[in-house]
Amino acid sequence: MSSSTAQVHAPSAAASSSTSPAAAQAALVAALAGVLPPHALLVRDDETTPYECDGLAAYRQRPLAVCLPETEAQVAAVLRACHRLGLPVVPRGAGTGLSGGALPLAGGVTLSLARLNRIVSIDPLARTAVVQSGVRNLAISEAAARHGLYYAPDPSSQIACSIGGNVAENSGGVHCLKYGLTVHNVLQVRGFTVEGEPITVGNLAGDSAGPDLLAAVIGSEGMLMVVTEVVVRLIPRPQLARCIMASFDDLRKAGDAVAGLIAAGIIPAGLEMMDKPMTIAAEAFVHAGYDCEAAAILLCESDGTPEEVAEEIEHMTAVLQGCGATAIAISRDEAERLRFWSGRKNAFPASGRISPDYYCMDGTIPRKRIADMLLAIQDMEREFDLRCVNVFHAGDGNLHPLILFDANQADQMQRAEEFGAKILETCVEMGGSITGEHGVGVEKINSMCVQFSPEELEQFFALRRAFDPGEKLNPGKNIPSHARCAEYGKMHVRGGQLPFAELPRF
């Protein structure tokens, strides 16, 4: 939700039912007095308020304290102290997440990794970079550019989001169709268990003996370990990239074109879709040159050698025309290519210009169901009497509907959440998932009850307990309890309930 969304306070998770917050805070300050410098431990309300939420601003809660370690040794010491005191810990990156995954706990500690922001090394021969978890996503590519290399996953927030947060959420981006998500571009992570013990998962050989714990850690939302260092895979920067903007007068034709490109054996470097309301909003914001009369536009990128790009552009153009494209524009130079992408990269702020608030959803569906989903969302707009603008990582079937509302108007926030819950249920009904890259956090925790059985959820908990028996790392996120799912089943009417419905709303 946008930053102006009404506040909804999340429940506290006190370390002990018999320990007051003041006593727990005093014990923590005493335990960390010789571990962290004074400026790295925040306890006053005015100091901890900036950490009360992540990019999902609907849920807010000040933590007991915020720790900002500057070294890995300090991270370990903080974890050991919290473990000794029985305090839950919420790891936090740059705070750009959109599902409440870094929502603090009133009785817990927020552990910010922002000051672990050093690029340790770049190996151009091995095409790897070793970076601390607080390094910005884009900074990796900037540092690798002098070697002709870059880091492929590129979330829209890449100018600000950190690699540790990307690991926590298994982040994607507009070029992940061809180059993969975070899980496909990370070789190894290092960090600490909840007890402060060092742990390394994955290796530089590309494979390791035993279970693939790296894939389990990536996307686990900080519930298994605190990541302090990441080894990422770098790839050569392509000699040339060109982008097609294709217009369609019908949503189904645009959806069929996405499936048609993949069926033709083409894997574009990027394949994004925007519906007409989103196109109009983005064009008004950045003047990208979009066709605002089209029912939908596709952005299809090719990269490689000039010869490869020319051949692929010709092939894609033929497929798009065969699927009913009404107009096709091909970037003539790098400036125009970047302009085409600027509207897509700024879709969220563009939405913020046309509505007091927006609720950004994240789910996945099979590519062949894109048009069905867009038409279903149009029906939901009428059902909930709210507008929705849509942008897709179309090649991945990863959708980002942005539900527009005004939190100052009675019941609009409730209707927006009911709208969002119904979108997620529809994703599951169509054979997809409730999340593609934003994670579950607190936002989608009830929707997990829709997608997974009690037996499946128990397997998730079993894995979690293998790393964190006491469930003190980011508790209350990602995996719903059986009690929550049982209660959700009783109250379930197409989803329309806040994850924390028992709390006061403002």
Task: Encode pLDDT of 13-39 as tens digits.
Answer: 444 446 788 999 999 999 998 899 999
Mean pLDDT on 337-362: 94
pLDDT of residue 423: 97
Task: Encode pLDDT of 142-157 as tens digits.
Answer: 999 999 999 999 998 9
**Residue where one domain finishes, among candidates 323, 349, 375:** 349
pLDDT of residue 499: 54
| Residue matched to tokens 């929502």 | 103
- Reported as a pLDDT band with limits 50, 70 and 90, residue 482 is confident
Residue count of the chain: 506
**Is 469 exposed, middle or buried, given 0-12, 13-18 or 19+ CB atoms closer than 10 A?**
exposed
Q: Which residues pair with 119 in a beta bridge?
A: 131
Whether the predicted pLDDT of 97 surpasses 70: yes
**Residue where one domain finishes, among candidates 63, 78, 112:** 112
Instruction: Give the closest residue to 172 by CA, choosing from 191, 189, 187, 151.
Output: 151
Residues 211 and 250 placed together within one structural domain of the fold: no
- Give every strand in the sheet of 186-192, ordered side by side: 119-123, 128-132, 226-233, 186-192, 198-202
Residues 219 and 285 placed together within one structural domain of the fold: no
217 within a domain of the structure (yes/no): yes
Mean pLDDT on 335-346: 95
Residues 383 and 484 placed together within one structural domain of the fold: yes
What percent of the chain is modeled with pLDDT above 70? Answer: 92
As a whole number of angstroms, the distance between CA 93 and CA 460 comes to 23
**Is 199 exposed, middle or buried, given 0-12, 13-18 or 19+ CB atoms closer than 10 A?**
middle
Task: Encode pLDDT of 69-78 as tens digits.
Answer: 999 999 999 9
Q: Which residues pair with 42 in a beta bridge?
A: 66
257 within a domain of the structure (yes/no): yes
**Residue where one domain finishes, among candidates 285, 314, 349:** 349
pLDDT of residue 503: 39
502 within a domain of the structure (yes/no): no
Residues 192 and 260 placed together within one structural domain of the fold: no
Residues 366 and 473 placed together within one structural domain of the fold: yes
The answer for residues whose C-beta is within 8 angstroms of residue 435's C-beta and 6 or more apart is 99, 362, 363, 364, 444
Task: Encode pLDDT of 271-282 as tens digits.
Answer: 999 999 999 999
Q: Where are the alpha helices (DSSP H) in 33-130?
A: 45-48, 72-85
CATH number of 363's domain: 3.30.70.2740
Residue span of the structural domain in which 195 resides: 122-236
- Reported as a pLDDT band with limits 50, 70 and 90, residue 5 is very low
Domain count, the chain: 4
As a whole number of angstroms, the distance between CA 2 and CA 5 comes to 6
Residues 252 and 287 placed together within one structural domain of the fold: yes
CATH number of 76's domain: 3.30.43.10
pLDDT of residue 429: 97
Task: Encode pLDDT of 211-222 as tens digits.
Answer: 889 999 999 999
Whether the predicted pLDDT of 495 surpasses 90: no
Residues 276 and 168 placed together within one structural domain of the fold: no
395 within a domain of the structure (yes/no): yes
Q: What is the pTM of this model?
A: 0.90
pLDDT of residue 18: 61
CB-side exposure of 421: number of CA atoms within 13 Å? 24
- Reported as a pLDDT band with limits 50, 70 and 90, residue 47 is very high
pLDDT of residue 227: 98
Residues 313 and 382 placed together within one structural domain of the fold: no
The answer to whether the CB of 195 falls within 8 A of the CB of 240 is no
pLDDT of residue 156: 87
Task: Write down the mean pLDDT value for the chain.
Answer: 92
The answer to whether the CB of 168 falls within 8 A of the CB of 219 is yes
Quick one: the chain helix, strand, coil %, rounded to 5? 40, 20, 40
Strand (E) or helix (H) holding 258: helix 251-263
Tokens for 338, please give them: 């970047």
